[in-house]
Structure 1
Amino acid sequence: MNDDLAGLLSTPVDAGTLDRLHRRLEQAAEQADLIDVAYTTVDSPVGKLLLAQTPKGLVRVAYAGEDHDRVLESLAGQLSPRILRAPRRLDVAAREIDEYFGRRRQTFDVPLDLSLSRGFRQLVQRRLPEIGYGRTRSYREIAELVGNPKAVRAVGTACATNPLPIVVPCHRVLRTDGSLGGYIGGLPAKTALLALEAAA
């Protein structure tokens, strides 16, 4: 019995078989309502992106530099350990991201779940989509927009901890002197997003 099991476990399994098994697992988990956080990865001009979604909406967009495995561990701790790669659940978000990079979309319509942010950070992140495509604002202007002109540094923190970069466009917020400031995806990604929008 043990030899048979060891033999089965040591037999190489081809990618097609693994894909079929995963699809069956995904369907069974879906039918039993066992998925609290679905995720997938998509290729983009700024690298591979992790997209994660709860029943409320898109909850996380993560750059490869953030370490996707670490992001998934964090989501398991913050939201639920019932996480599964379920690409079909993220078809709309993936399509909208693709349309954005193809210059066919300037605003996102996918429902959002902002539960990873609280208080002032969430307040700032809710206002960021008001910055028009191809436009920029300073951290100071955003602080004024949310009614707290002295909270420039706190606005910077809200942008730096934005769990939904690209979709919630923190890349459109710059320092008062026009320099880029920081960005969760790194300055090359921020530069690429601003150039993409400027070229439209």
Structure 2
Amino acid sequence: MNKTKKRILEVSLELFNANGISNVSLRTISDKMGISIGNLTYHFKKRDEIIEAHYFQLVEDYETSMTKIKFADSTLMVLLQMSYLLMRDIYRYRFILVDLVHILQEDTIIREHYIELSKSREQQFDEIFKSLIEQGEMRKEILDNEYKFFFLRLKILADFWISSLRVENRPLNEDVISEYEEIIIQSFFPYLTDQGRKNYLLIRNKKLVSH
């Protein structure tokens, strides 16, 4: 990626996060950079292309973050690390969550990928839940589709926690991010067995991810 294109993405991300996509046009980005609109559109013909670039970078960043996980560790450790890393990566591209409904309605490329990615994540979590049950760390389902619906609750929380903060007019700072990370991670606790809860508490007393 050349220097100008990289700078466009850096500046647009800053503007989108600060102002939302409805308040940021190609002209806004070019003016902020001090370049002509023609120079900008040489690299990105439409604003949608910039938004798509950020979306796919978020997906790539999360996959890269996953390499930090030590898969030799317990399955429960993997699950908690995945949740932690997802929250951190999402925060860097928070405008996507703030405007998620609009983006999915307007951008077919992102919508189709998002739907497929959601299906893939659900299968991934289903396998993890099954592994935890086999290892005696997670209890068996009591209700029909209990873990399917649990995943959907996690997905809704992950997708819309920043929107909830906006509605409540709460500042988005490190303390709040840590609070929502804890909300996500504690969501697993009621589904764990006594053995799982013991291991959970041991894991929570350690750093989840080494930076």
Both structures adopt the same fold (TM-score exceeding 0.5):
no
- Structure 1 or 2: larger strand share? 1
Q: Which has the higher contact order (CA 8 A, sep 6+)?
A: 2
TM-score by structure 1 length?
0.28
TM-score by structure 2 length?
0.27
- Structure 1 or 2: larger helix share? 2
